[in-house]
Amino acid sequence: MSNTITLSFTLWEVAVLIIAIAIVIGTVYLVKVFKSLALAMDTANKMMEENRSNVKIIVDKTTDMAETTESILEDVHGTVDSLTNEIITPVVDIVGKGVKVMSGISKVTGKRKKKKAA
């Protein structure tokens, strides 16, 4: 007595078996891909959260720097106006008056020299 099992498959049954195996393998591969994708998305979200706080700090510091710069420029403008009004304008006025006086003296002495020469 021999126990032999005979298997007989038709071509379409073999094709269905191959397709089923391919679907199982494809599903396993897709699960791995989706797990990797989920891990990458988590990492990207963490990086975005970290960078969001860093960007906020940078923007805040930039705003502070702009306000400080504006304040410094206002101080410099006030100082320049003060120097102009208190020092430069009076000195220019005095020098201008001195030039007029020297010009008048030069005219007077020039006329005297011409009279002596004549």
The reported pLDDT for the residue numbered 112 is: 67
Give whole-number Cα distances, 43 to 14, 19, 34, 35, in Å.
Answer: 44, 36, 14, 12
Query: pLDDT at residue 17 above 80?
Result: yes
pLDDT band at 5 (very low <50, low <70, confident <90, very high): confident
* Per-residue model confidence as pLDDT tens digits over 27-76: 999 999 999 999 999 999 999 998 998 899 999 999 999 999 999 999 99
Give whole-number Cα distances, 11 to 15, 16, 22, in Å.
Answer: 6, 9, 17
* pLDDT above 70 coverage of the chain, percent: 92
